[in-house]
Amino acid sequence: MPFTFPASPTIGDTSTQNGRTYRWSGYAWEIVSTYTLPIATTSSVGAVQVGTGLSVDASGVLSATATAYTLPTATSSVLGGVKVG
């Protein structure tokens, strides 16, 4: 079945033909991808969301903001540090 695209599209216009959606780029009709990136797991590559104290630069490098931490003194009810000596 031949495609029938609009004669004078503007950039961003879409047209669905034979179950596929196409978008006009200004030069050509391009297939609109319907791919959804899966969430990353310990065994597969996927998307992650950057949380509190983290940032990603334009090159994709993930960085963490250092924060102060004081190890609590260990007690019978609190896990912590023990001073020997």
All structural domains of the chain with their residue ranges: 1-33
Output the CA torsion sign for 45, 49, 55, 59.
Answer: positive
The answer to whether 46 touches 39, Cβ cutoff 8 Å, is yes
Measured between alpha carbons, how far is residue 9 from residues 1, 6, 13, 18, 82 in Å?
Answer: 21, 6, 6, 19, 72
pLDDT attached to residue 8: 92
40-64, pLDDT tens digit by residue? 999 999 998 999 999 999 988 999 9
- Compute the radius of gyration of the chain from its Cα atoms: 27
Q: How far apart are CA 73 and CA 60, in angstroms?
A: 39
Question: What's this model's pTM, rounded to 2 decimal places?
Answer: 0.41
pLDDT of 1 strictly over 90: no
pLDDT attached to residue 19: 86
Amino acid making up residue 19: G
Q: How far apart are CA 46 and CA 53, in angstroms?
A: 21
pLDDT of 25 strictly over 90: yes
